Amino acid sequence: MHRQDEPHYRRFAAIARALGRPLARHYALLQAEQRDSEGAVPSLARHERRGLDLALPYIGKDESVLVMGCGAGAEIDWLKRAGRGNLTGLDISPRLIEETAARHGVPTVLGDIAESGLADRSFDVVLVHRALHHLFYPFAALEELARLARKTVLIVDEPASALVKRAARRLLGRGELSPAGIYEYQFATQDVARYMGFNGFAPVLLRRYWESGHRLLDMAGNSLLPSAGNRFVAVFQRLKVMA
């Protein structure tokens, strides 16, 4: 923990207690309020599509897909353009799921990624894109993804633990990334694979790559040292012996 973050943590916990909320629920609702006020982009930038391009072959055209943390439907729009039509979006923001349903004509669910309230194995494929790292307990969400998926779990464009980011945080002297207190968890990919293994899934794709927002830098990094990249995509399929 960075010392500069300690007052923020104490204020956060005190407010959650005063409202009678568990910490994780309070954290999720703060994010929903922020996203409701700011909105979300309805389409993906070029650098946000790399992991999805790698994951797409693992989504059958007729398979049912749940997009967790769908926001305003950017991933749903991309999937529809890629020929996948059996789609459902889930998000904790009431405003954003209404936008997604209206814009794309798909069913939506108001819910928490870590606690959706949906039935076991409700969808063939469960996909999360650039959302897990903002959760209070991201590994609890992995368990929820595994519970909901009949066949495949796709974890796309999440931050991988990278030396360059750890160094930058130390130079900045804090872990907080925004005034709203939203943090970015950095995953060790082997921990993600191990946790999904406990939940009955085996990796069929686990790849790191660089994403800086600068095309030339990303091209150089992915040509020279992709295995040290700051983002990853992972595809897990349910083990038949644990079906």
Give the model's pLDDT for residue 173.
Answer: 52
Q: Mind listing the domains of the chain with CATH numbers?
A: 3-242 (3.40.50.150)
Q: What percent of the chain has pLDDT over 70?
A: 87
Give the model's pLDDT for residue 179.
Answer: 41
pLDDT of 94 over the 70 cut: yes
Give the model's pLDDT for residue 1.
Answer: 42
d(CA 190, CA 41): 31
pLDDT of 180 over the 50 cut: no
Helices (H), 47-205: 50-55, 74-81, 94-104, 138-148, 163-172, 189-198
Residue pointed to by tokens 């204020």: 11
Kindly report, residue by residue over 105-134, the tens digit of the pLDDT. 999 999 999 999 999 999 999 999 999 988
Task: Write out the two tokens for 1.
Answer: 């923990």
Q: Work out the angle at residue 142's Cα, subtended by the Cα atoms of residues 49 and 167, and round it to the nearest 5 degrees.
A: 65
d(CA 113, CA 108): 13
Do the beta carbons of residue 13 and residue 7 sit within 8 Å?
no
Give the model's pLDDT for residue 35.
Answer: 72
**pTM reported for the whole predicted model:** 0.86
Kindly report the number of other CB atoms within 10 A of residue 77's CB atom: 17
- Work out the average pLDDT over 14-30: 88
Strands 149-159 and 231-238: antiparallel
